[in-house]
């Protein structure tokens, strides 16, 4: 194996500390070919689909990509902006704000697990900046093998080929961080004040196959804890909120209750107004902007619901950026913490 180094490396160069902000990813554009390329990378990840490789290659390339790419492209077009993918636009803003807030001996890079900019390119950006300590922070507050675990795989695959392997700190979950709970609670409370308190607050998280949970993935438990902590912060009774799971794929059983079925059933239970929040995503994406705010809104209203309101993700809000900086500051304690931090 040939290891990656630098030609004529200057050993006296100043070393920097690196921060890799990692997230899911997005197609380069909403056209069918770009979406197909993105879906192929995403659905070829063995962390996502645990099916024998040969069988899954046939199913994916012969059936799924030939049909799903067209529908997914249509959905991406419905949320695309003049600036591009909402996910990427917000992630770039977060990266720029974090970089601006850190000392000059820090380098911040943005990497997507699927699509561009890739985790590989982001890590090489940090290597070229002579970063020998790297903090990896994902925009997924909850660990799952399908998200954070997969990002860890991508980071490990790249750096194992480096001649000088850096020190790497990998934060795999911050679902119960008091600062995050405070920020999310404030966001929801503000929505209650502007929209009125709903009959039901719905916490909707991306789902995973139930067999992954049965095999030890802690994701379901972490999501439930986040919901409970926020509900306690807002002084909500159990009847005031529900935790549900979205984006089921394929015929097998996934984590329940399903968000789509919940939206169809709530009006029959006398629930006429709901507000939906997705604490499992740091940045809005296709699942929140289209699946929740369009598709599931229609399910709720078609079933007799009257008032549906989606509460956006934290995105590049200043309090979210300050929170992310506080996570970095825990690792590098000499940093001057932003005002929101109480470390």
Residue 74, CA distances (Å) to 24, 71, 285 in order: 20, 5, 14
Instruction: Name beta bridge partners: 4.
Output: 162
User: Which of the 8 DSSP states describes residue 28?
Assistant: S
Place of tokens 């509460």: 311
Please name the residues in contact with 40: beta carbons below 8 A apart, sequence gap of 6 or more. Answer: 60, 61, 65
Q: Would 16-174+319-331 and 178-311 be classified into the same CATH topology? A: yes
Number of CB atoms found within 10 A of residue 334's CB: 6
- Alpha helix ranges (H) inside 20-85: 32-43, 53-58, 65-79
Give residue-wise pLDDT tens across range 316-340. 999 999 999 999 976 665 555 444 4
Task: State if pTM tops 0.85.
Answer: yes
Q: CATH number for the 16-174+319-331 domain, one of 3.50.50.60, 3.40.50.300, 3.40.50.1980, 3.40.50.1400?
A: 3.40.50.1400
Whether domain 178-311 has CATH 3.40.30.10: the reply is no
Locate the domains of the chain by residue range: 16-174+319-331, 178-311
| Contact status, residue 45 vs residue 149, Cβ threshold 8 Å | no
Give the pairing type, strands 106-115 and 16-26.
parallel
- Region of 115 on the Ramachandran plot (φ > 0 left; ψ -120 to 50 alpha; else beta): left
Task: Quote the mean pLDDT of the chain.
Answer: 94
Among positive and negative, which fits the CA dihedral 296, 313, 48, 119?
positive
Instruction: Tell me: cis bond preceding 81? Omega within 30 of 0 counts.
Output: no
- Classified as helix, coil or strand, 207 is coil
**Dihedrals phi, psi of 137, to nearest 5 degrees:** -120, 120
**What does each of the 343 residues of the chain score in pLDDT, given as a tens digit?**
677 776 666 666 788 999 999 999 999 999 999 999 999 999 999 999 999 999 999 999 999 999 999 999 999 999 999 999 999 999 999 999 999 999 999 999 999 999 999 999 999 999 999 999 999 999 999 999 999 999 999 999 999 999 999 999 999 999 999 999 999 999 999 999 999 999 999 999 999 999 999 999 999 999 999 999 999 999 999 999 999 999 998 889 999 999 999 999 999 999 999 999 999 999 999 999 999 999 999 999 999 999 999 999 999 999 999 999 999 976 665 555 444 433 3
Residue 89: its pLDDT value, please?
Answer: 98
């Amino acid at each position: 194996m040939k290891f990656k180094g630098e030609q004529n490396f200057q050993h006296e160069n100043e070393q920097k500390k690196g921060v890799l902000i990692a997230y899911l990813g997005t197609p380069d554009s909403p056209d069918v070919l770009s979406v197909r390329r993105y879906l192929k990378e995403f659905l070829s990840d063995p962390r996502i689909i645990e099916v024998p490789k040969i069988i899954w290659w046939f199913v994916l390339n012969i059936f799924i990509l030939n049909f799903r790419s067209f529908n997914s492209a249509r959905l991406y077009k419905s949320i695309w902006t003049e600036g591009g993918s909402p996910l990427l636009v917000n992630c770039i803003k977060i990266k720029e704000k974090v970089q601006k807030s850190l000392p000059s001996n820090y380098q911040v890079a943005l990497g997507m697990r699927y699509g561009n900019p890739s985790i590989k390119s982001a890590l090489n950006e940090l290597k070229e900046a002579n970063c020998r300590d790297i903090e990896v922070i994902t925009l997924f507050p909850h660990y799952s093998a399908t998200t954070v675990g997969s990002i860890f795989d991508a980071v490990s695959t790249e750096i194992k080929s480096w001649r000088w392997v850096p020190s790497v700190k990998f934060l795999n979950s911050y679902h119960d961080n008091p600062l995050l709970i405070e920020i999310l609670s404030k966001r929801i409370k503000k929505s209650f004040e502007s929209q009125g308190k709903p009959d039901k607050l719905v916490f909707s998280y991306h789902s995973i196959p139930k067999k992954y949970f049965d095999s030890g993935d802690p994701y379901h438990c972490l999501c439930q804890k986040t919901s409970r902590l926020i509900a306690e912060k807002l002084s909500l009774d159990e009847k005031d909120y529900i935790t549900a799971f979205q984006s089921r794929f394929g015929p097998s059983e996934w984590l329940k209750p399903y968000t789509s079925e919940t939206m169809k059933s709530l009006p029959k239970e006398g629930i006429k107004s709901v507000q939906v929040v997705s604490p499992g995503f740091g940045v809005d994406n296709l699942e929140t902007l289209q699946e929740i705010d369009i598709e599931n809104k229609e399910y709720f209203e078609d079933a007799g619901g009257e008032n549906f309101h989606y509460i956006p993700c934290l995105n590049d809000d200043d309090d979210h950026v300050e929170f992310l900086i506080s996570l970095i500051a825990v690792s590098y304690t000499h940093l001057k913490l932003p005002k929101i931090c109480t470390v």
